Amino acid sequence: MTFNSFNPPQRILMGPGPSDVSARVLSALARPTVGHLDPLFINMMDEVKTLLQFAFQTKNEFTIALSAPGSAGMEACFVNLVEAGDKVIVCRNGVFGDRMIQNVNRIGAEAVVVDSPWARAVETHKVKAALHDHPDAKFLAFVHAETSTGAVSDAKALCKMAQEHDCLTIVDAVTSLGGVELKVDEWGIDAIYSGTQKCMSCVPGISPLSFSPKAVAVVQNRKTQIQSWFLDQTLVMGYWSGEGKRSYHHTAPVNSLYALHEALVMLHDEGLENSWARHKEQHEVLAKGLKELGIEFIVPEEERLPQLNAIYIPEGADDAKIREYLLEHYNLEIGAGLGAFAGKAWRIGLMGHAAKSENVALCLTALKDALSQ
């Protein structure tokens, strides 16, 4: 048996992630590997921390890049903060809210589920009622930007409610970070995680993570041991302490962190508000073009994420065949529907580097062509 090097084609990634990675980030990724305890690498990690604080809009001392994908970031929040027997109000309006519930259950904690319809924002009045009905709830968990449907929830309002009931908040920002307004400190988010492969336009595999001082205190005052060794952030806090000394926990994914550093430098250069505005502008052009094609969004206008456009598959169109056609003829990837929307919706991502005029133009033209086949 012989094996050859893998040479992927240059795709245009307009699915729900991974998003297009720029040549600049790919080039950073391929720089020579240094040791994870090399003083130069440690300096770079300090910058990654500062840049993540900027991206999250937080002063949280505990702001790190977890060495695993966003789903591990989710689990890191739950296993560090939540103990068996704790009550957690979890909002579910898509796949990722459901995954939060599974995380709570596996800890032996109690999930109070607040269901909102898929493809809609979390219904704040239901959350308010749940907080009122469960004064013993310690945490409120919700997804800011549901990647499965493209709906954005009112994170600011949800955090305010939680604070009024002395609940800490655990927030999924996998698809929101860099793409829409997100202000960790101003909104009072206590634990937040994201992914690198969405609006950061970085390679997949890393999860930015930030805990408020209040959340850190909860972790440090637990009664029981954290059930995961790998995700135990008390062991990692020393590693990311920024005091110039890194204790060994695990080998950091050196090259992926080069890439994240570069992606964050680019975001910093552009400016957060500019990035949010760019995503919105490109979304509006795309939405207009989709309307002209007679295609409907699954999410009402005011609850739509600009960076993730979930649309109904037009009647008579073959889901898989159309996506295959786009990939084969245009090297264009759009995403299938997930969960309740599998086979019913497509998800068009305009994330990070992919949120640009040439991509929107191509997508509209290619989709029109594919639908007319």
Residues in 35-64 that interact with a copy of itself by CB under 8 A = 35-36, 38-41, 44, 47, 50-51
Q: How far is the CB of 123 from a copy of itself (least distance, A)?
A: 25
Give the x/- contact pattern for a copy of itself in 267-296, rule: CB under 8 A. -xx---------------------------
Among 59, 85, 106, 296, binds a copy of itself (CB under 8 A): 106
Using CB under 8 A, which of 56, 193, 239, 258 touches a copy of itself?
258
* Residue of the chain from 58, 60, 63, 103 that contacts a copy of itself (CB under 8 A): 103
265 φ/ψ angles, rounded to the nearest 5 degrees: -60, -40
Residue whose CB is less far from a copy of itself, 8 or 316: 8
**Residues 107-136, mask of contacts with a copy of itself (x by CB under 8 A):** x-----------------------------
User: Which residue has 């840049």 as its token pair?
Assistant: 51
Which residues inside 1-20 make contact with a copy of itself, applying CB under 8 A?
Answer: 1, 3-11, 13, 15, 17-18, 20
Burial 232-260 (b: 16+ CB within 10 A, else e): bbeebbebbeeeeebeebeebbbbbbbbb
- The answer to whether residues 189 and 158 touch, using CB atoms and an 8 Å cutoff, is no
The one segment of 155-163, 224-232, 237-245, 360-368 that binds a copy of itself by CB under 8 A: 224-232
Within 13 Å, how many C-alpha atoms sit on residue 113's CB side? Answer: 16
Q: Which listed residue (230, 241, 330, 356) binds a copy of itself by CB under 8 A?
A: 230
CA angle 62, 135, 211 (to 5 degrees): 5
State the nearest-atom distance from the C-beta of 318 to a copy of itself, in Å.
16
Ligand-binding annotation for 347, yes or no, is: yes
Least CB distance to a copy of itself at residue 15 (A): 6
Handedness of CA 148, 154, 157, 159 (dihedral sign): positive
Residue 276 tokens read as 């949010």
Does 82 interact with a copy of itself (rule: CB under 8 A)? no
> Cα 347 to chain center, whole Å?
15
Binding to a copy of itself (CB under 8 A) within 318-357 occurs at 327, 333, 338
Q: Which stretch binds a copy of itself (CB under 8 A): 255-263, 273-281, 312-320, 355-363?
A: 255-263
Distance CA 270, CA 328 (A): 33
Q: How many residues bind a copy of itself (CB under 8 A)?
A: 83
Instruction: State how far the Cα of 238 lies from the Cα of 283, in Å rounded to an integer.
Output: 41
Distance CA 324, CA 279 (A): 26
Q: Which residues pair with 113 in a beta bridge?
A: 90
Query: How far apart are CB 231 and a copy of itself at their closest, in Å?
Result: 8
Q: Which of residues 186-215 bind a copy of itself (CB under 8 A)?
A: 195, 197, 203-205
Of the candidates 59, 85, 225, 291, which one interacts with a copy of itself according to CB under 8 A? 225
Binders of a copy of itself among residues 61 to 80 (CB under 8 A) are 67-72, 74-75, 79
CB of 229 to a copy of itself, least distance (A): 5
